[in-house]
Amino acid sequence: MKLVNILTILGGISTTYAMTVQELIKDMGVGWNLGNTLEACGDWINGSTVKQYETSWGNPETTEEMIKGIKSYGFKSIRVPVAWSNLIASDYTINPLLLARAKEIVNYIINNDMYAIMNIHWDNGWFENFATKEEESFTKYRRIWEQISDYFKDVNENLIFESLNEEGCWNTVWNRWSNQGDKSKAYGLLNEMNQNFVDIVRNSGGNNTERHLLLAGYCTDIDLTIDEAYVVPKDDRVMVSVHYYTPSTFTILEEDADWGKAQPTWGSESEVEYLLNDFKKIKTRFVDNGIPVVIGEYGTVTKNKDINSVHKFLKTVAETSLNSGMCPFLWDNGEHFNRKTLVFRDEAIGEIYKVML
């Protein structure tokens, strides 16, 4: 445990945020997503308890043993996606049992000397409403972060808040493919959301005045986030998040779809070069200008895929991220790390991360 954490426990004092955000990103190492867990949602669930939601997408309740298990593979950070709307009142008051459960899981992580990132995830897709119900959507967004900020304000610097997931884009406002619509308004919505997020956290007191914060990029897409229309709030403790599932025909498609043909292999010289160029772009725009980058999600399905290609993709993304001064978070909905046996289903994937220690 870090000295600063020991002092906090023994002396009951506020954490001193000694690390710069650049030092933090290096210390975070490689990360893992606690996927399909606290962000599990859906009207069909009809849940009234946290457990009903937490286990509804097939994963068991999270335990500290799971956290220790994933740490044993070399992971130093865990992203905790949350669907706060699961247990929320009409006035957007979050059920205290959900807040308490989220804090319990965060404490599992922090108590094992790891970093936790906590966000508002897809959350039944209500972020779409910003395009048509802007005022009410901002009201909900602010209320959620006001409550989270207040509830977690005394947690130490191992907890990082993330403004939202990858829903910060609105094709009905501006369509990236056709370039039709109001691009300035679309980016403006996300820019205002991220600024609200920073202001709410900073004004909530406690350790939040200096807490390290993660800001969602536009669609968390590299090309859209490096666009000059995306504005980073002026704050020296913020990072930017993008996700990486390129090419999606390999990482997402298990079978052919109307939008693409499933690609079973990956790793040709040109494909690797394409990946390296993507990471170079985001590094040039942010890292080289003092703003760290988190690859909040990356990964690939394994069904109908060449296993060596899966290994190469995961390893290439992780190594390229680290070599570029970024922190990569493997997306895992239960497909990779078995949360019952506490080992990777494909041990070769686990070994990829062990050697990155």
Active-site annotation, residues? 166, 297
Specify the length of the chain in residues.
357
Which tokens hold the place of 322? 């680290």
Residues 355 and 357: their CA atoms lie apart, in Å, by 5
Residues 32 and 72: their CA atoms lie apart, in Å, by 12
CB 2 within 8 A of CB 19: no
What's the one-letter identity of residue 111?
N
Helix (H, G, I), strand (E, B) or coil at 323: helix
Beta bridge partners of 328: 295
Long-range contacts: 255-258, Cβ < 8 Å, 24+? 255/304
Q: How many CB atoms lie within 10 A of CB 277?
A: 10
Beta bridge partners of 214: 162, 239
What's the one-letter identity of residue 236?
D
What's the angle, vertex CA 173, arms to CA 169 and CA 176, rounded to 5? 60
CB 122 within 8 A of CB 83: yes
Contact residues for 22 (Cβ-Cβ < 8 A; gap 6+): 290, 292, 325
